[in-house]
Structure 1
Amino acid sequence: MSNEPEKTLYTLRIISAENLPRQSRWSKKLPNAFVSVKLNDFKHQTNVAQRKSEPAWGEIFELIDAGASSVLSLEVRHKSDFMGLGVKLAGISIRVEDLVHRCPGGQEVVLDLNSDRRAHAAGNDPPRIKISLSVTDPGAVVGELVTEAQNAVDSVAVTPAGTAAQRIDDAAAAISSIQPILLSLDNVLSKIDVVVKIVDDMVEVHPYAKFAWTLLSSAYKVVQKQTRTDQSVVDLMKAMETLYSFVSVADHLVDGKLDILRQNIKTILLQTVECAAFIRDYAHWGFAGRVVHGVHSDDAGTCKKLIQGLFDLQGNFQTGLGVQTAFVSSRTLGIVTEIRVNQILDGLMPADMHAPEHSECLPATRQELLSRIISWVTDINCEQNVFWLHGVAGSGKSTVSTTVANYIREMHHLGAFIFFDRGFADQSHPSKVIRTLAHKLGTFDKRIGKAISDAMEGYPGIKDASLLTQFTELLVKPLSSLASLQNEGAIVVILDALDECGSDDTRTKLLQVLKTQVHELPSFIRIFITSRPLIDIRGALDHQNVHNEGLDISSSTNSKDISAFFRVEMKKATEKHQDLPLDWPGDEKINELTSHACGLFIWASTASRFIGHYPASRLETILGGNITATQSPLDELYETTLKSAGIWSAPDLLQDFHKVLSIILSAQRPLTISAIKQLLSVSQSEGSTSIVPHLYSVLSYDLDNPATPVQILHPSFADFLFDTKRSGENAWHINKDTAHKDLAIACLKRLCTNGLKKNICNLTLVCQHWKSKDLAEDITYACIFWVDHLSAIADSSSIAPIIPCVEKFLKEHLLHWFEAMSVLRRSRDTIRLLDHLLRRIPVSVFSTESLYELKLTCILD
């Protein structure tokens, strides 16, 4: 009597075939090949590989109740076009016991096939098939069929009587044992535990291991609540288990080898997160639930795609090669390629977002917060589809959002990353937010793009409609119509630094839309928002539909993260300055720096940049500062930094500081050193841009690349200079109205002084293509923003000095300005700008002739 277990589970993978014979003596066509699998009562076949010389399938099957002496039959067949008949090309029969011995540890094996069509083969070699077979320890299969059937009956009781029986039949037909998936989940979880320990020092890999373990644990809990699942999901779980066989050898690898494979491990963990999310979402509904609730999608196809990705990653790891296989997502993603759809979406005129220069969180920092955010993203049961992270200026909100964006982007679920920056006032205007968001989502997924473009064609004037109408027509209705997206995981939208989106007055309508309408979006849309806790934003986001979390800068975890940041930055200083000891500056100094930072990452970042040039002396300068009772740590740091700049010995340098910093702070978008010089040259008194290198700690620029604009590193520095109580006593205060007035005058003088002229681009043909780059940067800026600077002046008395410049400009260069704005593709803005101008400057200051010309030109345009 056989001692074989009653139930043994094998995983068979059909990989590929080669040297197959032709389908017939008279045909030269390659076969439409598929593989037929038979074992006892189990019969199945692969998909058809159409007309390929070396067909590949990469499909896996679970073989249950197979004894060692059972015979496995594999036949490669040709699917004939005539009545769909299958013609046998080659085959083999082999005992399971023999095949297991030939596939140790589930390794791939090539088997020679028998064929009576040898004469028709392409060569003299026999036809071959590549397969693998792995065995799983036997386990009892969970029953409860009666309970499952009763649950199915109860769940369909509310459906029409005529369809209830059919739905129960459909559910029952797809039910298979869940025990294998639970066994596999247990196995993979234990192996990921090992991976976490192995990669503990791989700072860029460790977070992914933690996320994979967390999400897989969540999937395990959901699956436990079910007693049955679909075979394709079992196959996926088995593939994950096979992939993690690398753990048994990974901890024996020498450090050098493991270092080479770290990117492979990271991709494996990332793929695990994706597979775990799919399994959990699938199990959340259950098969019967998916049938009853109409949640239908190509689950088998998705599983097949994910399984193939797992096996490809396994191959890369085993060969020690770099990752050559792209990450496989369960989402059906695709960039919109239809020209018509692209053209329609471009009609939204989205903001031209510049990539943020924020750094990511240092590895091993912010881990608890990042884990909570990722868990929120992947929690399909969470009813709060908005996560609001708020904190004081400099607490590291944008660094967190950048890190989250990169994590989610790598998982192919980042629908849009919109970042606001007061230094780019034009792109950060509230009126552009919804149009930009719709455009980004439309280009993220071709189905969303098609739905939004259809909505735009049905509402031609949508880009000029109210924000409420735009939100409803461009987002809520199109997204709600795409039910299939519900089963493909979250689509994440990130709005970073919402407090820098316009002003309190201009963002009122946007916040009202977010407050009252965001819950109308389908649940798969998740919105992550960061901002300071300003009163207007808190009023819009502080309610039950929003997960509200503040950054606690006084927590011990935050202090540890800042300490870790200083250790990394000070290590960079020792590498740059070889005269410093390797352990400089020591734990005591690191602790002092951490204490001085008071929980603010921007303090740590600015201080590190300040210390970097002259580490030893500047470290003592930083630590020697005394904070008064009314002075914040940031103010004390900015004061120390400015005092140490070494540019205050000559009176003219302070004036240059004001001239240059006024332009940098009030510019609607960052300007290069060259453009700043041009605008200063037409001012009443020139300023020297040579002061810029002395402010390295607070400004961002690149002296080796003149095309790089100059801008402040953090908005808190602008707040410091604009606030007379914080900076006025030291003569660094910059008056915001004066800054806008001076820049408005500089723009107008630049346009009137060899700036604008008739046929400014020297066009010779009407059909000649205009290019905005034909205009100098300073002229371009002056054309677009001179009215905005005039409008930004709060004190009307400061407008009087500008009026003579405005009169001269309108009399001599109005039409030239129109031409330049056409070259810049900003013709539509001219009417809006002139309307703003007439609202700020009294009509009485213009002559009747100039006013008539201005109005007539506006009408004709």
Structure 2
Amino acid sequence: MFRWYQDAAKCYVYLSDVSFDRDRIHELSRSTWMQEFRNSRWFTRGWTLQELIAPGIVEFFSSNKERLGDKKTLSQAIHEATGIPIRVLQETSLSECTVEERISWSKTRTTSKREDRAYSLLGLLSISMPIIYGEGEEQAFERLRGEIAKRSPLKVLTQLPIADGAAFDSLANEHGQCLLGTRIDILDEIVRWANDPHSKTVYWLNGMAGTGKSTISRTLAQRFLENNCLGATFFFKRGEGDRGGMSKFFTTIVSQLIQQLPETARHVQATIEADPTITSKAMGKQFQKLIIDPVSQISSTTDSPRTCLIVIDALDECQGEEDVKAFINLLTSAKKVKNIQLKFFLTSRPELHILKEFQAANDKYQDFMLHEIADSVIEHDITVYLKHQLGRVREDFNRGSAKDQLLPANWPSQTAFATLVRMAIPLFIFAATICRFIDDRRVGSPDEQLKEVLKYETKSQESQLDATYLPVLHSMLARLNQRARQRVINRFNTVVGPIITLATPLPRSALAQLLNVTISTIDGALETLRSVLNIPRAPDRPIRLLHLSFRDFLVDPARREDPFWINEQEVHQQLANHCLHMLSNSLRTDICKVKAPGTLGSSLPAVEINTHISPELQYACRFWLYHLHESLPSAADTSSIWRFLSSRFLQWLEALSWIGRLAESLTMIKSLQSIIPLEECKELTGFLSDSARFIQAMGPSIQAAPLQVYSSALLFSPKESIIRNLFKDNLSKYIGLEPNMPLFWSQKQATLEGHTSSVNSVVFSPDGQQVASASDDKTVILWSAATGEKQATLEGHTDYVRSVAFSPDNQRVASASDDKTVIFWSAATGEKQATLEGHTEYVRSVAFSPDNQRVASASDDKTVIFWSAATGEKQATLEGHTDYVNSVAFSPDGQRVASASNDKTVILWSAATGEKQVTLEGHTGYVRSVAFSPDGQRVASSSSDKTVMLWSAKKGEKQATLEGHTDYIRSVAFSPNGQRVASASNDKTVIFWSAATGEKQATLEGHTDYVSSVTFSPDGQRVASASNDKTVILWSAATGEKQATLEGHTDYIRSVAFSPDNQRVASASRDKTVILWSAATGEKQATLEGHTDYVNSVAFSPDNQRVASASDDKTVIFWSAATGEKQATLEGHTDWVRSVAFSPDGQRVASASRDKTVILWSAATGDKQATLDTGFIDNLRFDLISTQLLTNRGSFIIDFADGISSKTSPGASFGNVLCISYGISKDNCWITFNGQNLLSLPIEYRPTRFAVFGNTLAIGCSVGNVLILRIIYEN
């Protein structure tokens, strides 16, 4: 009801208890009828709440039909009567009101049924749930609140991938804040900046390592949290998985924003519903759609905008310099948001790439350099800190010590304390680490520890890390003999070396498993290192560095002679060996024990995956090659790598797929090719090359369903593939007959899927790192050329995108569109930079000049336009073509431009002046594309006349014409006995294949145009083919000889069928007719006219008495086979009807349509009996006992007796029809068994036409071949 009211243009309310007489208005006061209005019973009824809120206009009338006003003009009185805010009665959207506020509007209303108080709120809350009268009001409200909970921000949060430990108050980021009385000036300055509506959007706090940046960030975050002004925080940390990069930055920020600003939840939810892939889009797109846009929608409730601070710490620890630079550019370029004062606080070391990017931003940010603070200020702050911390150490020690061991009140002495302060300046990390060390009782008393620290007094900045960490390390060796000291050092290297070298932290239990040591060994090595490492008590929480400077200290080459020095290369080598050992011993086929080969990776909960694939095994899968890369690979490494890959390669890919990391495998293989001395293991050379092709081609199938690595991936690899042959024994046993595959990999390396419509243009970036594609879906997509992963979707055009080009410096992308514009984009972030307007028709092509100074675009307005690549300004318009210009290209030296046109010419222009130089004539069709040779001496042009021409760029003379063609499969059919397959193709032929072996048996040539349909006669003796040449040809199934050509149709023939008695043939055509022929003589017997659009399919009844035809006019027609008279027209489909069939018992007819349904009709009356939701079906027939529909998509069970006769009314719809045995999924991506995914079909082997006969499938592919395979599978 709510939606019905909402869609109404106007709603009229008659108030029988409100009197108003316009003729006596002078005798009545306004307050009299207004009081009646406020007290009207209409405002107390439950269901009238929807009638009041939903419509845009509600007009009120008195008992004597006088208009009183509408809900806007009477909003004050209605507000007083109902409590509903005036803003809601006027313009404000319901979404601006809280759930509790909307529920409160029903509290004063009465309903005849108690439950209706809850039910009347459904529309107002956008909730849908069953009405159950009798459940009681309390239960009704409980169910309502349950449904509300499902739509709360928590629902949105489950859709946002987050980086664990990135928030300032997370368990992984549990560190101290600034001590009271320290950092006063800098904190005050930052707070003033954040609260100042006129200040810059970005504040950058930079400082050297150990100067206290993160502590300031945590303090600031806590302050703003307490004031309800904190939006979100992200603390980067190198080597901490997702905290070390940008991949989950924006979604992590958004998940926190939603909790701090719940109003943003619905906007974020709407964005995700509109584009489920938004969380993997370009940084710029995520920033705008997930942060800026939702925050911009928040309404202001005060005169001054609300502050919302986002704290981003340690940006220098984010991997990917280009990502960091693009991120800084995003923030400093962000426009201020209305109603919310959105501010970004960043900290980092002054790394060169960060420094340069901020300098390029000029005055768009505010900054402060911690390492330039006056020594006096730093001394004060460190003094306060040390007094507080050492005082606490003294109190804790004295609390548990005997009287004769107590530390005096003046401990430490003034001299010792002053020395500590001097040693610390300017590094707070020194003060924090030393205080933790002095407090560690495992080695000695606080006074003993303090004396040990003071031994390292120095004034040298470079050796401050020595003073910070050497006391901790040397204390491990105190009072030990030489043998014991060596044991401690060895254990330190065994455990701590890997901890500081791991790509991402591991818990102690996982670390012990990976290193093949006991947990007690781990604990023993770390016992005295709690002042420098975060060592959780829980064994399942990772061990972390407290500060990155400890790692820097341990691996510093200048400390090579120190016993605690860590040789990074050696540790990486050891970790690589540990990883390979674990992989070789722990990987298994079907490691998650799902059994069903079509199980989707996304269907298994992460908890279950983690149960089967332990943290250490996941680590080994992902990082074995990282450690190998960082070491110095040797010949021994090559041998161990070959042993691993040649035995566990498929299992490794399976495991990576389960944990969502399959894409990393290709990068790893390519990295391996670059570092291994392959001449020492020639087998590995070919393996790596083949494995890269294997992953590129089969990756999508494996990522979707991990167990497909043992079936689809192997099955559809070339016969000579090294992977296929090496792992042939791993091929799933349910493959009975393997399809006939090519010998070698094609030239294609990867299929990039992501566009939702035709792709019109594709181009590599000049550095070969990226690919850009332009599509009819109005987008440009940027891809990684190495892995094929989607990097960004560029949205901004409002019509088809026809062309795309990279700038010579790889920094920008230009796209040309039917919306008559050219758009410049950032290749790094995907952000739109400029829109060039000037063409008056579709823009077909765009190109950058080699010097990056200009852009040329070609258009249907018959012109080429030159633009400034720097400013986007139009520089010149080149006129000379007399029809659409389809393509434009610069010569390599940038001196000339070539354009190709529908006027059948190519024109060469001067790039400097825009003058026409020469016109190349010779094509007899539209010229679609033009290009210069690399040396600029020749021009190549391609045309709709099916030729490519080569021209002299200097003289314009034609040098050569290249000709060729390819086509695809239009129809496939099995012989009645299932022994043979016939296929019809655009190459004008029919081919016979062996269903047993897949070998070609005969090629039937005779048609002069596309062959659109092929069928066997019921006795299997003949084949009939229908063609766009308007003929039907009858062939001998035994010899392939042509027996008769049936001519009579005036347009393409779509379908042909034999009568059950083999005496007649029926053909269906685009000329809107069906023709009946004599099968013996080929003579025309009757022309059946009645359809108003193309006729696609024709079938005889089992008794030979009737013919049924299916048409694009959305109908099925019954005809008399004897007289050709129309008997009935069956209407019910909403789209083209593609196939029709009689049941063998003659009782029913089934028709399949592009509306994705099959309708069952009574053959006697033409009445609709049932509608089945089956997806697209191109052809269908009944089984011999009329209980199943056998279609090109598989077999469907139809329980006629129970499903239709006794339970179903005529015309009922079955939402889920069970596809039994083998078939093709609705999306053509899977071979199925009993409706469940079984075998994934790579994109090039997805059918254009297909047929199923028992457990044998024939698939006609767009690449022009027919695959025949047999499957033997049981649940």
Give the TM-score taking structure 1 as reference length.
0.56
Whether the 8 Å contact between 2:264 and 2:297 is mirrored in structure 1 is: no
What does the per-residue CA deviation read over 1:365-412, in whole Å, with 9 as the maximum and x for residues that have no partner? 223322222222222x32301111112211111111111111111222
> Could you tell me which residue of structure 1 aligns to residue 697 of structure 2?
859
SS in 1 for 2:188: helix
> Could you tell me which residue of structure 2 aligns to residue 351 of structure 1?
163
* 2:535 corresponds to 1:701: yes
Q: Summarize the alignment of residues 797-812 of structure 1 with structure 2, pairs less than 5 Å apart.
A: 797-798=632-633, 802-812=637-647
Residue identity opposite 1:422 in structure 2: R
Whether the 8 Å contact between 2:572 and 2:628 is mirrored in structure 1 is: yes
> Could you tell me which residue of structure 1 aligns to residue 1130 of structure 2?
none
Whether the 8 Å contact between 1:563 and 1:594 is mirrored in structure 2 is: yes
Whether the 8 Å contact between 1:559 and 1:594 is mirrored in structure 2 is: yes
Q: Summarize the alignment of residues 659-698 of structure 1 with structure 2, pairs less than 5 Å apart.
A: 659-681=494-516, 690-698=524-532
> Could you tell me which residue of structure 2 aligns to residue 641 of structure 1?
472
> Could you tell me which residue of structure 1 aligns to residue 544 of structure 2?
711
Residue identity opposite 2:622 in structure 1: I
* 2:489 corresponds to 1:654: yes
* 2:388 corresponds to 1:575: no
SS in 2 for 1:537: helix
How far did 1:506 drift?
5.6
**Closer, same or farther in 2 for the Cα pair 1:407/1:79, shift >3 Å?**
farther
SS in 2 for 1:530: strand
C-alpha distance in 2, partners of 1:466/1:731?
A: 47
Query: Pick from 540, 556, 563: which aligns with 2:376?
Result: 556
Whether the 8 Å contact between 1:519 and 1:545 is mirrored in structure 2 is: no
Unpaired segments of 5 or more residues in structure 1?
1-76, 86-294, 306-335
Query: Pick from 216, 220, 240: which aligns with 1:404?
Result: 220
What does the per-residue CA deviation read over 1:700-738, in whole Å, with 9 as the maximum and x for residues that have no partner? 214x4333432222111111122212x223243323343
SS in 1 for 2:244: coil
C-alpha distance in 2, partners of 1:777/1:348?
A: 22
SS in 2 for 1:494: strand
> Could you tell me which residue of structure 2 aligns to residue 584 of structure 1?
411
**Closer, same or farther in 2 for the Cα pair 1:697/1:339, shift >3 Å?**
same
C-alpha distance in 2, partners of 1:450/1:633?
A: 52
RMSD: 4.1
* 2:304 corresponds to 1:497: no
Residue identity opposite 1:722 in structure 2: V
Q: How many residues align?
A: 538
How far did 1:580 drift?
1.4
> Could you tell me which residue of structure 2 aligns to residue 624 of structure 1?
455
**Closer, same or farther in 2 for the Cα pair 1:621/1:474, shift >3 Å?**
same
C-alpha distance in 2, partners of 1:456/1:626?
A: 58
C-alpha distance in 1, partners of 2:676/2:666?
A: 15
Residue identity opposite 1:749 in structure 2: H
**Closer, same or farther in 2 for the Cα pair 1:392/1:619, shift >3 Å?**
same
Whether the 8 Å contact between 2:375 and 2:425 is mirrored in structure 1 is: no
SS in 1 for 2:344: strand
**Closer, same or farther in 2 for the Cα pair 1:808/1:534, shift >3 Å?**
same
* 2:330 corresponds to 1:513: yes
How far did 1:458 drift?
4.1
Q: Summarize the alignment of residues 398-477 of structure 1 with structure 2, pairs less than 5 Å apart.
A: 398-477=214-293
What does the per-residue CA deviation read over 1:191-211, in whole Å, with 9 as the maximum and x for residues that have no partner? xxxxxxxxxxxxxxxxxxxxx
Query: Pick from 616, 621, 627: which aligns with 1:789?
Result: 627
C-alpha distance in 2, partners of 1:351/1:519?
A: 27
* 2:365 corresponds to 1:546: yes
* 2:580 corresponds to 1:748: yes
Residue identity opposite 1:721 in structure 2: L
Which protein is richer in helix relative to its size? 1
* Bigger mean CA deviation after superposition, 643-652 or 486-495: 643-652
Whether the 8 Å contact between 2:236 and 2:313 is mirrored in structure 1 is: yes
SS in 2 for 1:815: helix
Whether the 8 Å contact between 2:423 and 2:458 is mirrored in structure 1 is: no
Whether the 8 Å contact between 1:346 and 1:439 is mirrored in structure 2 is: no
**Closer, same or farther in 2 for the Cα pair 1:485/1:594, shift >3 Å?**
farther
> Could you tell me which residue of structure 2 aligns to residue 759 of structure 1?
590
**Closer, same or farther in 2 for the Cα pair 1:591/1:422, shift >3 Å?**
same
How far did 1:425 drift?
3.9
How far did 1:652 drift?
4.2
Residue identity opposite 2:348 in structure 1: S
C-alpha distance in 2, partners of 1:814/1:410?
A: 53
How far did 1:621 drift?
1.9
SS in 2 for 1:859: helix
Whether the 8 Å contact between 2:336 and 2:342 is mirrored in structure 1 is: no
SS in 2 for 1:610: helix
How far did 1:772 drift?
1.1
Whether the 8 Å contact between 1:495 and 1:530 is mirrored in structure 2 is: yes
**Closer, same or farther in 2 for the Cα pair 1:718/1:345, shift >3 Å?**
same
Unpaired segments of 5 or more residues in structure 2?
1-35, 45-90, 102-147, 399-405, 703-1275
SS in 1 for 2:408: coil
C-alpha distance in 2, partners of 1:853/1:591?
A: 64
> Could you tell me which residue of structure 2 aligns to residue 221 of structure 1?
none
Identify which of structures 1 and 2 has the higher relative contact order when contacts are C-alpha pairs closer than 8 Å and 6+ apart: 1
How far did 1:857 drift?
5.0
Residue identity opposite 1:420 in structure 2: F
**Closer, same or farther in 2 for the Cα pair 1:405/1:632, shift >3 Å?**
same
How far did 1:553 drift?
5.1
C-alpha distance in 1, partners of 2:93/2:157?
A: 27
What does the per-residue CA deviation read over 1:641-685, in whole Å, with 9 as the maximum and x for residues that have no partner? 3222217833343333223222111212222233222222289xx
* Bigger mean CA deviation after superposition, 360-369 or 831-840: 831-840
How far did 1:484 drift?
4.0
C-alpha distance in 1, partners of 2:151/2:651?
A: 35
Which protein is richer in strand relative to its size? 2
How far did 1:489 drift?
0.7
How far did 1:447 drift?
3.2
Residue identity opposite 1:617 in structure 2: E
How far did 1:835 drift?
5.2
SS in 2 for 1:574: helix
C-alpha distance in 2, partners of 1:585/1:675?
A: 42
SS in 2 for 1:526: strand
SS in 2 for 1:352: coil
C-alpha distance in 1, partners of 2:657/2:149?
A: 29
> Could you tell me which residue of structure 2 aligns to residue 376 of structure 1?
193
C-alpha distance in 2, partners of 1:628/1:597?
A: 10
> Could you tell me which residue of structure 1 aligns to residue 208 of structure 2?
392
Whether the 8 Å contact between 2:203 and 2:367 is mirrored in structure 1 is: yes
Give the TM-score taking structure 2 as reference length.
0.39
C-alpha distance in 1, partners of 2:40/2:685?
A: 86
C-alpha distance in 1, partners of 2:242/2:563?
A: 30
SS in 2 for 1:590: helix
Whether the 8 Å contact between 1:467 and 1:510 is mirrored in structure 2 is: yes
Whether the 8 Å contact between 2:438 and 2:446 is mirrored in structure 1 is: yes
* Bigger mean CA deviation after superposition, 532-541 or 645-654: 645-654
- Percent identity, aligned pairs only? 28
Whether the 8 Å contact between 2:507 and 2:543 is mirrored in structure 1 is: yes
C-alpha distance in 1, partners of 2:39/2:635?
A: 88
C-alpha distance in 2, partners of 1:660/1:375?
A: 46
Q: Summarize the alignment of residues 253-264 of structure 1 with structure 2, pairs less than 5 Å apart.
A: none
Residue identity opposite 1:679 in structure 2: L
